[in-house]
Amino acid sequence: MSARPAAGGGRWVDVPPERLTRWVENFGSRHGGHTIQGLMLTGTDGATAEVLAPPGVPEVDDLDGLRDRAMTPRRIGLLLVRKGAVAAGVAEGATLVASKVDTHYVQGRTAAGGWSQQRFARRRDNQAKAAAADAGAIAGRILLPHVATLTTLVTGGDRTAVDTVLAAPHLAALLPLRHERFLDVPEPRRAVLEDAVALARAVRILVRDP
């Protein structure tokens, strides 16, 4: 499980669906007991925990239903892009059944000024375009053959880079599947992609302490 600060206060906690029941029990223990109304937990001390369905899981209004649906294997597409690195994958439950990870050199920004600044800027722009095209080709090769069976597409890395890749006309079929959740991940590598599968499956909980 991992926790991150939430905009507007509180913190996000990612809980594997298999551990949701235990997490709810521990929440009650930490906060002197709790009540449950739909997907909202309220501790005796005033703490709250709002439980959200993972990407690809139909909305339900009770914890048991959400847990059961979250534990049911579903096919998830993943696309992670950051600078010149891309990782695309298809997960069946917690297992990657198709994947590709690649890197494409993109020169870093140069300091302002100097006779070669424009030349470097043009080179960097060309490298970035080539990296986006390569990422788009990989996304198409890995994701499009499964588009009819995907329940959702979870993206992450650098939002601008992902948006650029998905703007390619041949990837239009993926856009309706894209989930609003965006994963904050480092430069995509195989291990990062595997971790992203766990994050995409996780139940998100917004915890606010009293």
Q: In 40-188, which ranges are continuous DSSP H helix?
A: 63-71, 117-143, 159-166
Q: What is the mean pLDDT of the chain?
A: 89
53/68 Cα distance (integer angstroms): 11
Instruction: Kindly tell me if the per-residue pLDDT of 111 is higher than 90.
Output: no
Fill in the DSSP letter of residue 74.
-
101/124 Cα distance (integer angstroms): 21
pLDDT value for 197: 97
pLDDT value for 4: 85
Nearest Cα neighbor of 14 from 158, 154, 152, 198 is 198
Q: Collapse the DSSP code of 128 into the 3-class scheme (helix H, G, I; strand E, B; otherwise coil) and give the result.
A: helix
Nearest Cα neighbor of 170 from 195, 137, 124 is 137
Neighbours of 57 (CB within 10 A): 22
**Residue 8: Cβ-neighbour burial (10 angstroms; 0-12, 13-18, 19+):** exposed
Condensed to tens digits (0 to 9), the pLDDT of residues 47-90 reads 999 999 999 998 899 999 999 999 999 999 999 999 879 999 99
Condensed to tens digits (0 to 9), the pLDDT of residues 2-29 reads 678 888 899 999 999 999 999 999 999 9
> What's the first-to-final CA gap in the chain, in angstroms?
22
Would you kindly state where each structural domain of the chain is located, as residue ranges? 2-72+202-208, 75-200
Q: Does domain 75-200 have CATH number 3.30.420.60?
A: yes
144/174 Cα distance (integer angstroms): 8
pTM, rounded to two decimals: 0.87
How distant is the alpha carbon of residue 124 from its chain centre?
28
Question: Which range among 80-84, 161-165, 185-189, 190-194 shows the weakest confidence by mean pLDDT?
Answer: 80-84
Question: Which range among 90-99, 119-128, 141-150, 158-167 shows the weakest confidence by mean pLDDT?
Answer: 119-128
pLDDT value for 83: 81
118/127 Cα distance (integer angstroms): 14
pLDDT value for 118: 57
123/83 Cα distance (integer angstroms): 14
pLDDT value for 105: 46
